[in-house]
Amino acid sequence: MRQDKSFEFARTLLSIAISLALAFAIIALSSKEPLAALRYFIIGPLDSASHIGNIIEMAIPLVFTGLYYSILFKSNLFNLGAEGLFFSSGLLSGMLGATTYMPPGLHPFVLILAGGLLGALLGLIPCAINYKWGASTLVVSLMMNSILYGICMFLLNNKFRDVSSYTIVTEPFQATAKLARIIPGTRVHAGAIIAIACCVFLYLFLNRTKWGYELRMLGSNKHFAEYSGMGVASIMFLAHAISGALAGIGGSVEVLGMYSKFQWTSLPGYGLDGALIALLAKSNPAVVPFAALFIAYIRNGADMMARLSDVPAEMVALVQAAIILLISSQALLKGLRERSLLSKLKGENANA
């Protein structure tokens, strides 16, 4: 076990190291003042409380989509529907935030709950279609992103729009609806606490509950789950509902924490990032926040570098792509692993 984990860990570290080396190489090659650029990239995001706050603030939505994919990966399921759910729930919470009245504290809680419920319901749709008719979950979830986006934009534009504004936004949220800032001098909001709570909850759910256990067994070997007498279909529905709820909560938290009115006019793009975070965290909810912080850190670094030097921020996309490719490469370092396994087997035979 220890050996296995350390191997996975080594592979993750190696993937990150290669990707960062790639980043450094790109900076060195493309910048006229590489050392300064590198300094902005590496130290910039950490050099003041407000910069560190930026990292945390950016990590919050990443935690939610990271959890979304962690649950799916753990159950060996996959879809690309996080975007649409994130957007829809964000709009629902934003709209309700502008039009409902509730005491502070309770208000955002109810709104986020509503967002989570909507996410869970929407998340079940591709799963149900697949279960009932066998259509590909991946393609249906992709289509749903566009459909939900279209419906949301229609609703925003025609039903919830603030007519006094020149841009397509809702009316401003009630003061009670917004998530409070929790660290002075930064924009870090209470969503960070919710994100951590979700990670803890999911960690416990996966490792300490019957349903989490069944979900993990389904992910490890579907035939084994069936053979053991588990209801495989209901586990699949459960996985989709939970991941959908997480994306929904994430959308709501992001909208209520970062904005004073709903103002997205395009899909926020957190969907694919979630897959990256889950890969980095090996789908372990306890590691997801760290993976999210890491990605937020290199993004903020890239942003600072772009503002203060001559290297554009999009460099970070190359790093992210490299990380995904390397981490998901089953064959990377495989030779090493096989050799260690072989020597282990030999040791076992000698003992036996």
Partner 1 sequence: MPSLVDMLLNPSFWFSVLRVTTPIIFAAIAALITDKAGIMNISMEGTMLFSALAGTIVSALTQSAWIGLLGAMAAGVLLSLTLAYFTLELKTDVILGGVAINLFADGGSIFILYLLTGDKGTSVSLASKVLPSVTIPLIDKIPVLGAIISGHNALTYIAAATVFAVYFMLKSTPLGLKIRAVGENSSAAQSVGVSAKKIQYLSLALSGLIASLGGAYMSMAYLPNFSRNMTSGRGWIALAAEAMGQGGVLATSAASLVFGFADAMANALQMFSLPAELVGIIPYVATVIGLILYSVRIKNAKKRRGASKKPL
Partner 2 sequence: MEPLLEARNISKVYPNGMAANRSVNFSLQKGEIHALAGENGAGKSTLMKILFGMEKPSEGELRLNGAPFSPSSPQDAISKGLGMVHQHFMLVPSFTIAQNVILGAAPRKGLSVDWKKAAQETADLSAKYNFSLDPNKRVEDLSVGMKQKVEIIKALYRGAKILILDEPTAVLTPQETAELFSQLFKLRESGITIVFISHKLKEVKAICNRITILRGGRNMGVFQVSDVSEQEISRLMVGRDVALKYDKDNIPPGDAILEINRLFLKNEDGKTKVSNVSLSVPGGRILGIAGVDGNGQNELARAVMGEIPIASGEIRICGKPATGKLQGVRQLETGYIPEDRMKQGTAGDASISDNLISIRLKSPEVCSKGILRKKKISALSESLVGLYRILCSSADQKVSMLSGGNMQKVVVARECSTSPKLLVADQPTRGVDVGSAELIHHKLLELRKNGTAILLVSADLNEVMELSDHLAIMFNGQISAYFEDPSQVSEEELGLYMLGLKKQEGIS
Give bridge partners of residue 170 from the DSSP assignment.
161
Letters for 202-221 (x = contact with partner 2 by CB under 8 A, - = none) are -----xxxxx-xx-xx--xx
User: Is residue 228 within the footprint of partner 2 (CB under 8 A)?
Assistant: yes
Q: What is the CA radius of gyration of the chain?
A: 22
Question: Of these partners, partner 2, partner 1, none, which one is at the site of residue 85 (CB under 5 to 8 Å by kind)?
Answer: none
Output the six-digit token pair for 143. 């289509």
**DSSP secondary structure of 92-120:** HHHHHHHH----TTHHHHHHHHHHHHHHH
Helix (H, G, I), strand (E, B) or coil at 190: coil
User: Is residue 330 within the footprint of partner 2 (CB under 8 A)?
Assistant: no
User: Is residue 315 within the footprint of partner 1 (CB under 8 A)?
Assistant: yes
The one segment of 109-117, 138-146, 195-203, 243-251 that binds partner 1 by CB under 8 A: 138-146
In contact, 128 and 237? CB cutoff 8 Å: yes
Report the residue number, 151 or 258, with the smaller CB distance to partner 1.
151
User: Is residue 163 within the footprint of partner 1 (CB under 8 A)?
Assistant: no
Letters for 75-104 (x = contact with partner 1 by CB under 8 A, - = none) are ---x--------------------------
Count of positions on this chain that bind partner 2 (CB under 8 A) = 30
| Binding residue for partner 1, selected from 62, 114, 140, 298, defined by CB under 8 A | 140
Distance CA 20, CA 24 (A): 6
Letters for 271-310 (x = contact with partner 1 by CB under 8 A, - = none) are -x--xx--x-------------------------------
Output the six-digit token pair for 53. 């706050």
Helix (H, G, I), strand (E, B) or coil at 220: helix
Alpha carbon distances (Å) from 186 to 253, 291, 329? 17, 21, 38
Neighbours of 277 (CB within 10 A): 30
Distance CA 36, CA 282 (A): 34
Give bridge partners of residue 181 from the DSSP assignment.
189
The one segment of 43-51, 113-121, 246-254, 316-324 that binds partner 1 by CB under 8 A: 316-324
3-state SS track over 136-187 = CHHHHHHHHHHHHHHHHHHHHHHCCECCCCCCCCECCCCHHHCCCECCCCCC
Question: Of these partners, partner 1, partner 2, none, which one is at the site of residue 167 (CB under 5 to 8 Å by kind)?
Answer: none
Report the residue number, 314 or 348, with the smaller CB distance to partner 1.
314
Output the six-digit token pair for 314. 């999009």
Nearest CA to 291 among 37, 73, 30?
73
Question: Of these partners, partner 1, partner 2, none, which one is at the site of residue 209 (CB under 5 to 8 Å by kind)?
Answer: partner 2
Question: Of these partners, partner 1, partner 2, none, which one is at the site of residue 228 (CB under 5 to 8 Å by kind)?
Answer: partner 2
Question: Of these partners, partner 2, partner 1, none, which one is at the site of residue 216 (CB under 5 to 8 Å by kind)?
Answer: partner 2
Output the six-digit token pair for 160. 């919830």
Report the half-sphere exposure of 279 (CA within 13 A, side-chain side): 23
Report the residue number, 171 or 214, with the smaller CB distance to partner 2.
214
| Binding residue for partner 1, selected from 2, 32, 101, 158, defined by CB under 8 A | 158
Question: Of these partners, partner 2, partner 1, none, which one is at the site of residue 226 (CB under 5 to 8 Å by kind)?
Answer: partner 2
Rounded to a whole number of angstroms, the distance between the first and last alpha carbons of the chain is 19
Question: Of these partners, partner 1, partner 2, none, which one is at the site of residue 6 (CB under 5 to 8 Å by kind)?
Answer: none
Interface residues with partner 1 (CB under 8 A) are: 30, 78, 129, 133-136, 138-140, 142-144, 146-147, 149-151, 153-154, 157-158, 272, 275-276, 279, 312, 314-318, 320-322, 324-325, 328-332
